[in-house]
Amino acid sequence: MEPVSAFAAYSKCKNAKELNERKRKRNSQKISNQKRKKQKAGKQTEGANLQIQPKEKIKSIKKLNNANNKIKLKGKINDSRNIHKKLKLKIMKKQNKKVKKTKKKSTQITGTILKERVEDSENNSNDINCVSHLNNISNETNEEYHSNGNPIQDSQALFRWILDPIDIETFLSNYWEKTPVYVKRDVHNYYKHIVSTPLLDKMLRTNHILFTKNIDITSYSNGVRETHNPPGRALPSIVWDYYQNKCSVRMLNPQTYIPMIHSLNATLQEFFGCFVGANLYLTPPNSQGFAPHYDDVEAFILQIEGQKRWRLYRPLNKNEYLPRYSSKNFDQSEIGKPILDTIVKAGDLLYLPRGTIHQGMTVDNTHSLHVTLSVYQKNSWTDLLEKVLPQALKEAAENDCRFREGLPLDYLTYVGAAYDASSHKDIFKNRVKNLITLLLEHIDIDNAADLMAKNHIHDFLPPFLFKNERKCTVAEDGEIMTNNGRVQNHAEITPETRIRLLRLHCIRLIKEDTYKVYYSTENSKEFHEYEPQFFEVDEKFILGIKQLINSYPDFISVKEVQIQNEDEKIQIMKDLWEKGLILTEHPLC
């Protein structure tokens, strides 16, 4: 049987391009096969209208199934309740008195902001020229730009460039997790160095990209959302054939293959302290790829090419503000009137807090290419408490006999759904409350934070290294092989060598059964391709490891590290250097 095709959904579309006779015959057979295959083996996810082919691992659909099951369990988000009752959209837009000069004047104003920022960065060693940064890595060498020596400030400045003209402090205090933000710039090439449609084509041709694992082919027509992934490799001719027939293309992990997106996400991880993901969306003219829905991440939509009409809606109820799981696909009749209905053009930014229902479609015979950066998935107080409470209960049970006392003999005769309120039930409930109060004495927030960090370390992209950093790390420094099998250079760390951690969040010291250092420098650019990376550390080295962490981002000399034995001190610094966890102030060779 031939691979399943999506063209049955488009044979009646008015806007679909006429297929030549050869394709028409070929696709006619595909359509018949598709219908037979759906009747034989297909199944639909709850409320999603997604066709799933058996024996295929479709991660996005599995997540949606889990979301449908878990969405009923969402708890109340009290902290945001009052804020979101008064949800308002803030459109950061240049205001001009004369309509005829609006576009020209707005461009000039925005250009001035960018120019001032570039000039400021030349005079301020603590800033970063992010436009030059993306310009320089657009040649795919990954390391042409030089870091200013402080990764925290690099990350802050990159985020500031994404938000411009909003400053970070204003964004975090007024908009973060509160309300959508639309930044209209009229600078169409603002994000152009991140990715492009020709680069997407090149990526498909030069890498082994797989349907479902790396790329989805989707459509949304007449209220039905479908995924049309055939098995096997996503070759350009196949992908673009779907695209010409009004299918949207979603790249699930572009950071794995596109250096600019890896640079962007890995640099921002230093600011957010958690994994920064990305999806790349290419939508053909006059079409829509996804049903209305909300996500469980903070989303930053960077419009690269073309334009897209976006409609945003309030969450349906108070329990869907800042959700922990993504929603089902909504019907148009469920979501009410939009709070924003606008055209987002190339160079613009759209920020969506978790729970913002949204849908986007291309209009005016124009395609759309945008990148969605996603952060803060499962990084809430609830997630921290899920780490805190089980450990606290374990600690309490070991150290307080009141937690180990037996339950009343007859408690099942007055506690439960079948029993009304009674004095016995009140006494029982008060006893539980008292134990919970006692439980607070056993809470270990340090351990909980370490467990959260352990998850983040596993999630992280490997750090992006700039040119000057590569020369001071194991990536490029040290021994090299030359002609005739001869090795040149010798990297030697001495007591005078000055070192620091590569990144603040690339390492985490955790006390489990022994002390362990978890690290992300050897992670793959594919999410969770490898198991968590760690090594055990003898307790006599702990002070030195803590010193490296707490002195970041400053350099310290090896002789200052608080490890008594000089030979052991040199050796453990060498071990950290070989794992890419530290860099030296100057190249060793």
- The letter for the amino acid at 433 is K
Query: What's residue 149's pLDDT?
Result: 78
Residues 6+ apart with CB under 8 A from 536: 514, 515, 516, 517
**CA nearest 315: which of 561, 527, 77, 497?**
77
Q: Which of 93, 85, 87 has the alpha carbon at shortest distance from 342?
A: 93
What is the pTM (predicted TM-score) of this model?
0.77
Residue spans of beta strands (DSSP E) within 187-234: 215-221, 224-227
Distance CA 263, CA 484 (A): 36
Q: What is the CA radius of gyration of the chain?
A: 27
Q: Which residue has the tokens 């098995």?
A: 231
Q: What is the 3-state secondary structure (H, E, C) of 57-71?
A: CCHHHHHHHHHHHHH
Structure tokens, 393: 């209960």
Dist. CA 407–CA 392, nearest whole Å: 20
Looking up tokens 């039905």 gives 224
Per-residue model confidence as pLDDT tens digits over 139-185: 444 445 566 679 999 999 999 999 999 999 999 999 999 999 999 99
* Counts of helices then strands in the chain (DSSP H, E): 16, 21
The Cα–Cα gap between 59 and 402 comes to: 45
What pLDDT, on a 0 to 100 scale, did the predictor assign at position 130?
A: 52
Residue 490 has what pLDDT? 87
Q: Which two structure tokens, joined as six digits, stand for 543?
A: 């002070």
Closest among 588, 583, 460 to 525, alpha carbons compared: 460
Exposure on the CB side of residue 484, measured as CA atoms within 13 A: 2
Block residue for tokens 């090299």:
480
pLDDT digit string (tens) for 488-529? 888 899 999 999 999 999 999 999 999 999 999 999 999 999
Predicted local confidence at residue 465, as pLDDT: 93
Residues contacting residue 493 through CB under 8 Å, at least 6 positions apart: 499, 558, 570, 573, 574, 577, 584, 588
DSSP string, 344-403: EETT-EEEE-TT-EEEEE--TT--EEEEEEEE-TT-SHHHHHHHHHHHHHHHHHHH-GGG
Q: Say how far apart CA 586 and CA 589 lie, in whole Å.
A: 9
Closest CA to 178 of 382, 337, 355: 355
Helical axes 151-163 vs 259-272, angle rounded to 10°: 110
**Can you tell me the distance from the alpha carbon of 245 to that of 437, in angstroms, rounded to the nearest whole number?**
61
Per-residue pLDDT in tens (0 to 9) along the chain, 589 residues:
333 332 233 233 333 344 444 544 454 454 445 434 433 333 333 333 322 233 333 344 344 345 444 433 343 333 333 334 334 444 444 333 333 343 333 332 233 233 233 333 333 333 344 544 554 444 444 445 566 679 999 999 999 999 999 999 999 999 999 999 999 999 999 999 999 999 999 999 999 999 999 999 999 999 999 999 999 999 999 999 999 999 999 999 999 999 999 999 999 999 999 999 999 999 999 999 999 999 999 999 999 999 999 999 999 999 999 999 999 999 999 999 999 999 999 999 999 999 999 999 999 999 999 999 999 999 999 999 999 999 999 999 999 999 999 999 999 999 999 999 999 999 999 999 999 999 999 999 999 999 999 999 999 999 999 989 999 999 999 899 998 899 988 889 999 999 999 999 999 999 999 999 999 999 999 999 999 999 999 999 999 999 999 999 999 999 999 999 999 999 999 999 999 999 999 999 8
- Counting every residue written for the chain, the total comes to 589
Q: State the Cα angle at 552 between 262 and 543, rounded to 5°.
A: 125
